[in-house]
Structure formats: C-alpha cells, structure tokens
Structure 1
Amino acid sequence: MTQLAPLPSVPTSAEVVVIGGGIIGVSTLYHLAKKGVSSAVLVERKTIASGTTWHAAGIVGQLRESAGQTELSRYTTRLFTELEVETGQATGYKQNGTLHVALSDLRQEQLRRNHDHAGRMGIESHLLSPDQVLEKYPHLQIDDVLGGFFVPSNGQVNPLDVTQAMAKGARARGAQVLEHTAATRILTRNGRVCGVETDRGVIATEKVLLAGGMWTSRFAAAHGVTVPLHATEHFYIVTEPLEGLSRNIPGLIVAEERLYTKEDAGKLLIGGFEAQGKAWGREGIPASFEFDELPFDMDHVSPMLERAFARFPFLETTGIHTFFNGPESFTPDGRPYLGPAPEMPGLWIAAGMNSNGILNGGGFGLTMAAWMTDGMPTRAVGAMLAARAHPFQMNRAYNAERAEESIGFHYGLQWPGRQITSARGIRRVPLHDKLLAEGAVMAERIGWEIPMYFDASGKGWSDRPSLGWQDWSPFVAAESKAAAEAAVLIDQSMYGKIIVQGPDAVRALNHVSGAEMDVAVGISVYTQFLNEKGGIEADVTVTRLQPEQFLVVTGHPSQIRDQALIRAHANPDWRFEIFDATSAYGLLTIHGPKSRAILQAISSDDLSNTAFPFGAAREIDLGHARVWAIRRSFLGELGYELLMPTEFSAHVYEAMMAVGKPQGLRLAGMFALGACRLEKAFRHFGHDIGEEDTPYETGLGFAVKLDKPDFVGKATLARQKAEQGAATHHRTVAILVEGATAEAGPYLMHNEPIWRDGEIVGHVTSGGWGWRLGAMVGLASLHREAGVSKAWIEEGGFTAQIAGTQYPIRVQLQPFHDPEGRIMRG
C-alpha cells in the first residue's frame, strides 16, 4: 500500500493568504513571491488546478477592449514564454497564432476594426482573404467565409502545466502551497480581515485573496460579500489523431457559429459557447469535486456539433476521441470581478473569469499582487471592479439564469441592439409602466430596465445587426431634435443617489474630491473622486442639502463602488455616515429651451436665471410635491435634474407632461442622452475618463482646487500642473469626421486610431452620430511627448482610422455644440 506523504503544517500567520489553487490564485501567489512577500500562503481544498483550470482550452489572446487590459494580456504571453526557462517546468506554450474568420459584412467590419486596434497597440496582425484563410487553415470549409484576421503572436498553453510552473516558481521564492487544506471561514475583527480558518488550523493575516472559481459566490455570500457568478457546463470534443494536421496550426474562432478549435497533440479540439447554456451546481458544488467531468449532453450540444461538421468536412471521416463536459463560472455581465470587496476591508476578489482565466492568468496575478501590496493595481481594471456588484446579485436563481445566457456573450455578433433576455424586469424605475405605455424600448443594466428610446408602435428591438445606421435612429433623431427645439423628459431614477451626512461629512467628501466641497447649502458641485495617482475613480455631482448633509449623484454602475471609495479613504475617527438613497428617490431630468417655462407653469417658485442660476440647487414646489431641483444638463441644454421621494414620481411626471406636451415636450431615452452628450463633449466615466486619467489630461482641470487642504492625489496633480501646465502629455479632445453621413457613416465607436504626420497620436474613446449637429462626433485621447498644446491641435492634419480607412477629422479642445456653454447657462 502506497504511503501518502504527510501534509505540511499550517503556519500560524502569513502576510497574505490566497484561497483557491486555480490559475488566478496560483499566479497571484507567484507574483506576490516575486515582489518579496515571503510569507504568502495559498490554501487549496483539493489539489491545484483541479476545479476549472485543468480542463480549459488554453487559447491565449492579447487584444482586449482597453489599452490597459491589452497590456495585461500581452504580459501573460511574455510570462508563459519565460516560465519554463525560470522553473524548468514545461508549460506547453507555443505561439501558433489565432485566426478569426468572418461570415458576414458586419463581422468583417469588426475584424477590420480589430486590425486597426492591434496596430495602435503595436501587435502584429493581418487581414486575410478567403484563400489566405484556407492557406492558414487547410481543413476549413470557406465557401461562405468573407475574410479573416490573424494574430501570429497569440498562442496556446497547457493550463495544468503552466499552473504547476507558477506554483514551483512561487515555492522557490518562499511562498507556501497547502493542498488538501480547505478554507472554512474568513475571520474578522471590527469588520476587517484578521485571519483564515481552515480545516487544519487558523492562519492569522490581514490580507486575503478569494480566488475560488466556481466556489467563490457561495463562500463570499456566507460572509456577506457579493460576488455574482455561477457555474455552467462547457462542452468540447477532441478528434482522433488527424493525418497531416500541423502542430503549428493556429487556434480558430468562428464567432458567428460560436465555434473555436485548437491543435491538441496531433488531434483537434473543437468547442463552442452556445447562445443558451446549461447552469450547473444549482444546489452547490459537490464537496468531492476534483478533476471531475460532467455527463455529455448530446441533445444540448447537437446544434453546435452540426455546425462543426459542416465547417470541418473531415469530421465525416474522423473518429471522436473525447466528448468532454466540464464546469466553468460565468458572471452576469461577462466580465471578471477583481479588487477589494467593499463589504470587508482586507478581502480582495479575483473570480468569474468567464472562460478567460488562462489568457488573463499572468496579467491578473500581476495586478492582484500589486494591489494587495502597493494599494493600486498595475493597470486600470475599472470595468472589472468587484465593487461594481450590487447586493441583489447575491441571488442564486438570478445568477444561474443569467449564466446560461452569459456563456454566450463571448461569441455571436456584438452590436448595439444585442440585448440580454434572461433575468429581466428585476429593477424598475418608478415610472416603468407609464414609460412602457408611451412606447419605451428597454435595455437591461445591472438589473435595471432602462428606456433607450421611444417607439409608439410597440415594435421593440430590431433584429437587424448594424454598427451604423439603426432601425431606431429616426426615433433618436426626433428626441435629440426635441431637446434642441422644445424639451425632453428623461427618467434617470436608476442613477445612484448617496447621502453623506454628519459633522465630518464635508471632510470625508473633500478628501476624495478634486473640487471644493465646503460650499453653501443649495450649491451643486461637479467633481471627480480621485486616487493616489490623481486618476479619476468617479465622476459625480455633489449637492449640499443641509450644513451636514450632502447628496452624491452618480451613474448606476457606480452605486456601490463610490460608497466604498469614500469609506476606504476616510479617517476612522471622522463622524459621518453614508446612506444609499437610490431606491428612496426618483430622478427625472428635463432639458431644452422650454424646460424652464414648463416647470414654471407648475411651480410657484421663481425659476428665472437670476433667482436660479446654473449649478444652483433649490427645494421647490412642483405640482403638489416638494422637489429638489438642480440646474444641470448632461445634454448641454437648459436643464434641471429633479429629485423627489419615489412616491411622488408619478404625480410630478403627470404634471410636467400635462403642461409640457402642448409645448412639444416628449420623452427621451438613453440613446438620445448619449448622442447629445457627445456633441457637447461631456466625458463619460468608463469610456472617456477612468482610473489612469487625471482631470488635467481630460480637460477637467477646472474641477480641481489645488489650494484646498490635502486630498487624495493632490501631490501628483500639483506636480503635473507645475511640470506640464495646459500642455499635458495626454489630452482629451473633441473630434468631428469630415463628410460623414448618418446613413452611410463612417461611424466612430471606440479605439479607432488617430493619425498625424504618419504617426499614431491617439485613439477615439467614444463616438457616434450627433443629431443636433448633423455630424459624426466623438471624444479622443491624444498623446505627445512635447505636450498636447492648443497650438499643436490647431495646426490640424489629423485623421481617424475607421475599419481600415483614414478619414480627415476636425480636432478641438472645445465641444462642437455650444462651445461657450451659453445655452446651458441661459
């Protein structure tokens, strides 16, 4: 009988404890050890990589939606090439490239845009004709293939081997890997992490990373922490050995058929991400799970296999060696959860990889190690922050239902009309039914049903995929025109409303804000919350309601995140409290030249510009209700944000519509708001501004008051202003594409390179058609080592590369709509 080696003893303390031995947990341990954290410990319930990691396909790509994420993926590919040399442990990594093919004009345009993005990021890529596709991938049926996109520096790796290599590298630097050691509880003292209880003893620590893969959600929920994810079944087949199959054949992705392939020791692995998957583990993951497979559901997978047999004719005469089904965890929005858990200081999350754990493995491990030791991630990961999760997303039924759809977010056609269909109708604004009755066409955002545009016909979303002119464009045009000529009413009740109150409320807000918060009661301030590098963590308005009470209005994705940020930077001795008032208040906004007259008709208060100027906040009569009115407009028109207790929303809405409709007031959705804000060059947090952008670089320096007492990021911003002044190395600008039309484009979207004098000098951060201007407009970030000065911009000569073609653009610091802001302040 084989004698098992005794398990190493559990240490009594550690600087960091990592829970979970998959690729992400082991990579973080490895990078912690590289940073000199010698007492880092990883605990794994069974053996490392035995959950999801071991059966991953292992395809490694680099291009992501942002420059920061792309850099992290590029780091992963570099790491995989170095690990084997460093540790002597084979990883199976090879750079055989990835090949994407297009079966439609829309997908072909997306591939051309990806090629442009790759060029901006310095990643070699090639657009291929159908014949060139066949040359790269001889086994493919190409009768309906329009073209391809090939990235030679991408590749594939053996997931189990690369995880073992990282573990070996971590151990060599003093870190410990404790297999067959289950974490049973995270211990806290005064709400902060103080240790991890395992089934073999307690480890005292102040820092814990929870990287438990598909186990994470339930383990976190047991501690009051929300990490929304759920396991689904993931299927693939592996053929018998194929004669003539090159070991260097690239990985293949046919997104429209939801298929992928990779070479596997002379065989071909063929898998896919179906549009509607199967949730697994609804009652929890079995305690015995280790390197387990799930039953192969042939009925469920048959449509995918039929597409595969048609796409790869050789399958008709080739045997299938393996029919595989294994669990992988997916999140409600298809993005991972990374960073500090807002509910428990000292706990970090890295989970919900959505089948991208291997290609994210190196970069995410690097990021989490830096975050846990230096206090900041290596690159911005704002779209993946753990703090974006909302408490309702702890619901298990919600996560299971959504995971069955989110497995399909990977593939298929991505376009603005692609809508989520699962777990709908969860969160509704107070006027939900009234808006539907007026033809609101809803989209889902973090559970909210949000009106995107209004179509009285009730036809709903179009199923015609397009990256340009949409079937709903005429409705958005009419709503935008009404904002310019009469007035529009938008229900923005889904926005976060946060009350900060107490004797030190002003102190807490001033500490994280660039602007001065110590203003008179009845003043609304536009500001950014900042990080230590001067980067933008939130874009908000703050209104002083009472001497010790402030209202923060933020975007609906930031409802939890912004509260956590205020708390994280506050002195524990400060006396203040934070109350999430999002559900307590409705938020209706009205914009347009007739908005004042409409409100004045149902209010006894003086709403003249003299009595109620731009930026002011007043509690006023409106109909028979009392409403906080704030003079602001994200559309760049004369406008008001109206905040009222939820129960008054219907009454205020009816009163405004009764007097407003005869004057041309109409309902508008978020598409019109987005189009108008682009014309006005208003920055959108998460697209145009983020954690790596400072206010001076983004044209928001007016919202920074360096003469106020110390605040987060002040030293960095003061140094940047002193050294670079107005000509920072990076600068956000407004752009307009010469000669574009709404019907034919070209359409700006995101990441299009900006050229001047034969060099790439920036990229588009957001763009679209501006209906008031009748022009294609957007925002872009320009970079120049000598400084992006006003004079350099005015010299002109800029072009935007859109789907492979360069178009002349106008560039300026001011918005193209009402550049002086007279309309909004009138």
Structure 2
Amino acid sequence: MSTFPTSAKAVVIGGGIVGCSTAYHLAKLGWTDVVLLERQKLTSGTTFHAAGLVGQLRSNANITQLLGYSVDLYNTLEKETGQATGWKMNGGLRLACNEERWTEVKRQATTAHSFGLEMQLLTPTEALDLWPLMNVDDVVGAAYMPTDGQANPSDITLSLAKGARMAGARIFEDTKVTKIELEDGVIKGVMTETGFIECEKVILCGGQWTRDFAATVGVNVPLVPMEHQYMVTEQIDGVTSDLPTLRDPDRLTYYKEEVGGLVMGGYEPNPIPWALKGIPKGFHYTLLDSNFDHFEQIVELALGRVPALQTAGIKQLVNGPESFTPDGNFILGEAPELKNFYVGAGFNAYGIAAGGGAGMALAEWVAKGEPPFDLWPVDIRRFGRPHFDTDWVRTRTVEAYGKHYTMAWPFEEHSSGRPCRKSPLYETLKGKGACFGEKLGWERPNWFAPAGMEPKDVYSFGRQNWFDIVGEEHKAGREAAVLFDQTSFAKFVLKGPDAEAALSWIAANDVQKPVGSLVYTQMLNDRGGIECDLTTVRMARDEYYIVTGTGFATHDFEWISRNIPDGMNVQLVDVTSAYAVLSLMGPKARDILEKVTNADISNEEFKFGTAKTIGIAGCPVNALRVTYVGELGWELHLPVEYATTVYTALAEAGAEFGLRDAGYRTIESMRLEKGYRAWGADIGPDHTPAEAGLAWAMKLKKNIDFKGRKAAEAQRDNGVKKILAGFTAAPDIVLSGRETIYRNGKRVGWLSSGGFGYTLNKSIGYGYVRSDEVIDANYVMDGDYELEVATERVPCTVHMAPLYDPKMERVKA
C-alpha cells in the first residue's frame, strides 16, 4: 500500500462509480497527483446495490452525449484494465401500452435520430421476438435501442479504480474525511482520520452523504435518499444472457437479465423517503429491510407483463437507499458558494449509466475550469433559494421519483411544495383566473382561465386545453396591450468605482454608455460561447442594474461575480426579492402608461433601449423601454410594496384600451414570432453570438477588450459551421423542440425550441443548421427542408429574418 500523502493536486471524496470515474479521468488527463478517499470500501455506499441498467437517451443532446460516452468507455474498459465489468451491449426495449405513450415513444425516437442515436420502432410481435417472456396483449408498440446495455455496478467501479491507479492516481479506503479546511474562504486541504492532505481542489462524490457534508462548507446540494427496491429471481426458463433490458413505463417497471434470472424493479407513485433524521453512523455495505407490502404494487403490475414471475423463485428483495433530486436530474459542477469545490451526486438510480460520462465531465471541469460542453440540465447552478430547505427538497423529490416513469408531457408542471415564492400580485391574479407555473420556487402565471373554466392544465401531446385562450392573450398583445407579472426575474446591482470597467470586461456588448442607457448583452466564455444573456441598465456612474431570467439567478450571479477582475473595487448584490416587475406590452402600451404618469414617455423623449424613473400612483418606477415579445412596451420595475397599487392603476387605465392579463405561454408564442433567443434552449455555452445571429450585440468594432473576444474575432474572420435558423410548418403540426431538421434529405440538426405563432397561424421552431464546412446565411436559405416530428417527415420553410414586425414601429436592438 502506498504511503499516505501529505499533499495532492486534487482530492476526490467518495469511492462509488462517480468518484472512481472522476479519479480515472483526471489521471488520464495527466493529473497523476490525484488522491481518492473512501471512508469504508469502494462501492460500499450505494453503488454496490445499483440495478446496473445503462440507457442513453435523454431529452437533452448533451446529456445524451454524456451517457453515450459511458457506453463507449464501458465497451473498452475491461480490455484496458483486465478487470471484469459485467458490461454487455444487449440493447434496450421500451414499451408503449396506450396511444399517448406511443406518441411519446415516437417523439423519443425522433429525439434519438436528432442526436445521432439508432432507435428502432417495433410492432408488438417484433418486440416479443426480442423479449419472448412477456405478454404483449396490451402493447401498442415498442422502441429498441441496440446500443443500450447493462453492467455489474461493483465490477465496473473496481475496473475504473484499477484504471485510475494504472494512470497514476492513488486510492485510499477506510479513510474518512472529517473536515474541509478553509482559510479566508479558500480551500487549503482535507483533514482525515489518518492525517491532513494539502490540496487546492476537492471533488465531492459522496452519494447520499453529499448534502450534509457539503453543507459543512456552506455548499448546497439538493438531494435526499429514497428507498428503492428491486427483486432478484432464481433462473427462469427462456431468460438468455443476451436478453435486452426492458422498460415498461406504463407498468412503472424495469427488467434485466442476471445469471439466468431477472432483476425487476420499479418506481412506485408513493415512494418512501429514507433517513429523515440523518443517515445512521457506520452505514455501509448495508441494505434496508425489505418492504414486501410496499413492493406488492410493483409486483402486481409486473405479473401482468411477465407471467413467469408467478412461479419464479425469489432470491432477494433488495431495498437500498439511492440519492434523488427535486427535478430528476443529477448534479455536477463547481459549487457557486465555494471556488474549487466540485460536486458529482444525486444520480436518481441511473448512476451506472451516467458514471462514465459524469466522471469525464467532472474531470475536465476540474482540469480546465469548464465542462467539455454545456451541461445546464445537470449543472449545480440551476438550483436556488427553495433548495436550501431539506423539507422542501424532500417534498419535491418525492414527486419527481413518482414521475420517473409517468408520461413526460410537454409543458408539465410539478405540483408539490407550492406555492413557495409568490409575487405580491399572486392572490390578485389567482382571483382573475391565473393558472400558475413554477420556476425556482416562484409562482408565475402561465395563462388566465376565463370565467367558468378551471385554471388547470390538461396535458396531451396535441394542442392542450389552454391553446385557444393563449391565442386570445396573444392577439391582445399584438392589437391592444397585455400586462405580464414578471416579478420572478432575477435582478442584481453591480456597484462600485470599478463597475464600468468590470462589466466592460464581462459583457460582450458595449456597456460604457450614459446613465439611463439600457444594453442587451451576452457574457461569453473563452471559447466565445454564451454563458449569460441579459439586460443591463446604467443607473449611475458607478452602478448598473442587471436583469436576467428567473431560472438563471444562481448561474448568472456566479458567472458575473467569478469573472470580476482581481483588484477591482465593485460589489454584486442580488436584489431579486426587493422589486416587482410589471411588463406592459402592446401597441396601446403608451396610451395606457400616459394615463397613469406625468412623465413624458413619447418616443422622442423615451427612446427604445433607455430607462427612466417615472411616477405611478405615488410609486417611483424604474421604467425600462425594452421588449421580449416584439411590441412597444416597458418593463416596470418597482419596490414590492407598491406592486398592487401600480397594478390596479394600470388595470383601471387600460380597461378602455382592451388591456388584458397574460402569462408566460403568451410571452413564449410572441417571442417565437419575433425570433428572440432563449438561453438554455436556443443559445448557451456551446453557441456563439455569430452562430446565433447575435454578432450585432458584440463590441468588436470598438477597441474594448472583453472575455471571449479572441474567439469571437476568430469566428468573424474564419466563419461558422452552424447557424441558428427559424422554421415554420403547418398549424396542425405540433412542435415542442428536438424535432430533427433535414436539409436536402440530410440530417443537419434539431429544433432547440418549438411552439405556435398565433399571428402567423403557423407552428414555429428554431434550430441550428450544422455542416462540416463553413456556411453562411445563403447556404441555409438555399436548402429544401423537412422536420421529423414523431418519426414522420413534414415539409417546412426556413427563415433567417424575424417572422413578425409590428406595423407601428420596427423594434430596434
């Protein structure tokens, strides 16, 4: 055994599959001075009792790529290390037992095609040929992915550990970390029961222990342990070693072959949280007591699918705690609260499928300071204030667990832990029929039900029950005016003598403007990718007000604060909760606003892209002349205590002009018509302004350096290989994103977002047209295009210009 180290370049805490994979990949990157510490034995936490199914397809291209990397790694790992992994690429089947599930499966197949994966649609008879033990009486169809598979969790982890050692990493079992040592908020090392290890970087892959341990250094990791059970049978006639894994979501169950028998588990709608008072001391290589009564509901569903289970011998009912998260996605990345502290945890019972790719991504994040590609769906910075409360996290996680195999409806909302964060107008808008959605705990009106209609979403893969109502809200926004409650916007103040210099470095657009100027800007990484997409307002010589999307509060605050150059005298403060926001939009917006303020709001005195403080009903309102819906309008930012007063004044003044309350579904349909980009969908760290049609928002013609400028200049000089374009299709075609784009019969990308444009009466989508060669707008426009929607190809028209411009004024950037 090697001598216990006194220092290391990085320390990985946790010897499950993700910790071992991270150490393996760090060592492969040349970080041989890496130490992995496991408090007991490798795999002894939750890895050893994982079921071991390895699927790849997710709703996000990059997460699918991450899982695909796991498969590629597992294909070669045993040969590399000589350590058995139990990996076999025996394919995966997914059943559909009703028409709506079949639609979901067909849409998943299109998503797979978009992302370059092979997914075959099968008849019930074809599925039976692959899995002859099942009853297919109720099966409508199935999907088969030949590159899915299964692994032995412990073996594959030990193989990764061996590979890490072979590459130079050191692994110490029976070594409990007792404390992370900090000095002035900087990591100095880790204290263990064996001794102190000096290090700069810590990667915490502690499974269900991660939340509590991370909290000791002020880092929030929203996960909780849940009981998860599966049954292991004796050998069953007809179960062959090459039997594909099987997922039967309508019966909430999954199956895989094991030593001639079956492993069968599932996701019950009433899961049981575990360790409500904390994880017992000394818990390792330990299973929970089998709960046959609770598992009976899963068995009953399984018997209808696999009749042989009625007579099969049962070896074991495994009950092991697994880490689950409030949104069903795992957690990766550098903690926003502590530099050089990284997390890989909360894998929602698919840690084996994600383990290879998650370790690769974490290792690159640690070694290079950024992930290999945009990982926003699993980024730790997607969380916020509600996630500090363990009771709230547990409540929402119970719901997410219960939905693991339920239908993934478009526009689906969670219902638990609500309401949490409320605008001052919540009760007022609720009384006017608001149907609320939720983001980062905030209640936000999605649409307004008319009198006599319950404000409740009815989900489907077709047009949902709110479709026509949103159309009426949209029409009001185009022809009269609408009022949106956007209080949930994340709002920051950047203040100090060096505010201009700091923001000039971080922002790609020119923010060196007079007081009262409003600037839409991106913030770029060193590759030129878009890390933030937001609005800045110069409030004073030494102060900027920054507005960004609700869900990006943690992410954008962290990005700005981390990139303020050393030595600059400037502070960033989150003021989200201090201000309400009412967005008044539409051709009649000025008429309405003139009735409630004495300020001159004429176009001459209050131009687009400016901000002024105006008075409304005794309230000082910071009015921003800006739009995300393509109409004349203002965002009215005001102290929360004035919200109901100002809202009432606007509502009364707007009555004669046809003012209508409207929600976020209307914002989305209007922005699609105007071609405004959405971060996290159309733009993100993997997309540059030049690719996204936003090059005009960079100060490349000015001699002002900014982060990402060199990459932006290189693209300006050398061109791009992907370009964001708009697509329209017939109104009966439902576009929701991830539909495959075909140019001249060749797959060239997928839709990043999709929806409906009521003014145009067309379905609208946006997506990148990709090529191996440098392309331009002419290349995009020259092609003939089709979209694959639920495996069917439909004609579409490509667009490079906005689809809609209001007649009364062309909106300028």
TM-score by length of 2: 0.98
* Greater mean deviation of Cα atoms: 536-545 or 506-515: 506-515
Identify the residue that residue 562 of structure 2 maps to in structure 1: 568
Q: Structure 1 residues 34, 460: closer, same or farther in 2, change over 3 A?
A: farther
Output the CA distance in 2 between the equivalents of 1:51 and 1:223.
22
Output the CA distance in 2 between the equivalents of 1:322 and 1:274.
19
Q: Supply the AA of the counterpart residue of 2:797.
A: R
Identify the residue that residue 484 of structure 1 maps to in structure 2: 478
User: What's the offset of the Cα at 1:458?
Assistant: 6.9
Task: State whether structure 2 residue 730 is matched by structure 1 residue 735.
Answer: no
Aligned pairs for 1:447-458 within 5 A: 447-457=441-451
Task: State whether structure 2 residue 312 is matched by structure 1 residue 318.
Answer: yes
TM-score by length of 1: 0.96
Aligned pairs for 1:268-307 within 5 A: 268-307=262-301
For the 8 Å contact 1:631–1:639, the answer to whether it is kept is yes
* Greater mean deviation of Cα atoms: 588-597 or 301-310: 301-310
Output the CA distance in 2 between the equivalents of 1:356 and 1:755.
32
Task: State whether structure 2 residue 576 is matched by structure 1 residue 582.
Answer: yes
Q: Supply the AA of the counterpart residue of 2:705.
A: D
Identify the residue that residue 62 of structure 1 maps to in structure 2: 56
Output the CA distance in 2 between the equivalents of 1:820 and 1:732.
25
Post-superposition CA distance 1:61-105 (Å, at most 9, x none): 122223222222111111111111111100000011000111122
Post-superposition CA distance 1:117-162 (Å, at most 9, x none): 3223332221101111111111112111110100111100001000
Output the CA distance in 2 between the equivalents of 1:820 and 1:660.
21
Task: State whether structure 2 residue 766 is matched by structure 1 residue 779.
Answer: yes
For the 8 Å contact 1:630–1:642, the answer to whether it is kept is yes
Post-superposition CA distance 1:189-226 (Å, at most 9, x none): 22121111112211111111111111111111121111
Residue 70 of structure 2 aligns to a residue whose secondary structure is helix
Post-superposition CA distance 1:772-805 (Å, at most 9, x none): 2111011111112343323223324111111111
Q: Structure 1 residues 820, 358: closer, same or farther in 2, change over 3 A?
A: farther
Residue 600 of structure 2 aligns to a residue whose secondary structure is coil
Residue 498 of structure 1 aligns to a residue whose secondary structure is strand
User: What's the offset of the Cα at 1:459?
Assistant: 4.9
Task: State whether structure 2 residue 542 is matched by structure 1 residue 557.
Answer: no
Aligned-CA RMSD value: 1.6
Identify the residue that residue 519 of structure 1 maps to in structure 2: 513
Q: 2:339 aligns with which of 332, 337, 345?
A: 345
User: What's the offset of the Cα at 1:464?
Assistant: 4.4
* Greater mean deviation of Cα atoms: 405-414 or 486-495: 405-414
Identify the residue that residue 4 of structure 1 maps to in structure 2: none
Output the CA distance in 1 between the equivalents of 2:386 and 2:311.
50
User: What's the offset of the Cα at 1:499?
Assistant: 0.6
Aligned pairs for 1:328-407 within 5 A: 328-407=322-401
Post-superposition CA distance 1:682-718 (Å, at most 9, x none): 1110011111000000001111112242211111110
For the 8 Å contact 2:457–2:466, the answer to whether it is kept is no
Q: 1:11 aligns with which of 5, 8, 21?
A: 5
Q: Supply the AA of the counterpart residue of 1:584.
A: A
Task: State whether structure 2 residue 180 is matched by structure 1 residue 193.
Answer: no
Q: Supply the AA of the counterpart residue of 1:783.
A: R
% same residue: 39
User: What's the offset of the Cα at 1:536?
Assistant: 0.6
* Greater mean deviation of Cα atoms: 696-705 or 408-417: 408-417
Q: 1:529 aligns with which of 511, 523, 534?
A: 523
For the 8 Å contact 1:257–1:412, the answer to whether it is kept is no
Task: State whether structure 2 residue 787 is matched by structure 1 residue 800.
Answer: yes
User: What's the offset of the Cα at 1:13?
Assistant: 0.6
Identify the residue that residue 809 of structure 1 maps to in structure 2: 796
Q: Structure 1 residues 15, 526: closer, same or farther in 2, change over 3 A?
A: same
Output the CA distance in 2 between the equivalents of 1:510 and 1:573.
15
Identify the residue that residue 805 of structure 2 maps to in structure 1: 818
* Greater mean deviation of Cα atoms: 60-69 or 444-453: 60-69
Aligned pairs for 1:428-467 within 5 A: 428-457=422-451, 459-460=453-454, 462=456, 464-467=458-461
Identify the residue that residue 634 of structure 2 maps to in structure 1: 640
Identify the residue that residue 622 of structure 2 maps to in structure 1: 628
Post-superposition CA distance 1:277-335 (Å, at most 9, x none): 11111111112111111122233222222111112112222222211111011111111
Identify the residue that residue 505 of structure 1 maps to in structure 2: 499
Query: What number of residue pairs does the alignment pair up?
Result: 812
Identify the residue that residue 655 of structure 2 maps to in structure 1: 661
Q: Supply the AA of the counterpart residue of 2:691.
A: E
Q: Supply the AA of the counterpart residue of 1:757.
A: N
Output the CA distance in 2 between the equivalents of 1:762 and 1:388.
26
Residue 378 of structure 1 aligns to a residue whose secondary structure is coil
Identify the residue that residue 707 of structure 2 maps to in structure 1: 712
Output the CA distance in 2 between the equivalents of 1:355 and 1:287.
23
Output the CA distance in 2 between the equivalents of 1:341 and 1:417.
29
Output the CA distance in 2 between the equivalents of 1:297 and 1:668.
48
Output the CA distance in 2 between the equivalents of 1:640 and 1:651.
17
For the 8 Å contact 1:439–1:458, the answer to whether it is kept is no
Residue 690 of structure 2 aligns to a residue whose secondary structure is coil
Q: 2:776 aligns with which of 783, 789, 808?
A: 789
Residue 785 of structure 1 aligns to a residue whose secondary structure is strand
User: What's the offset of the Cα at 1:562?
Assistant: 1.1
Task: State whether structure 2 residue 205 is matched by structure 1 residue 211.
Answer: yes
Post-superposition CA distance 1:513-549 (Å, at most 9, x none): 1101111110110011111100011110011111111
Gaps of 5+ in 1: 1-6
For the 8 Å contact 1:226–1:391, the answer to whether it is kept is no
Q: Structure 1 residues 235, 459: closer, same or farther in 2, change over 3 A?
A: farther
Output the CA distance in 1 between the equivalents of 2:503 and 2:44.
46
Output the CA distance in 1 between the equivalents of 2:67 and 2:482.
43
For the 8 Å contact 2:612–2:624, the answer to whether it is kept is yes
User: What's the offset of the Cα at 1:819?
Assistant: 8.4
Gaps of 5+ in 2: none
For the 8 Å contact 1:282–1:400, the answer to whether it is kept is no
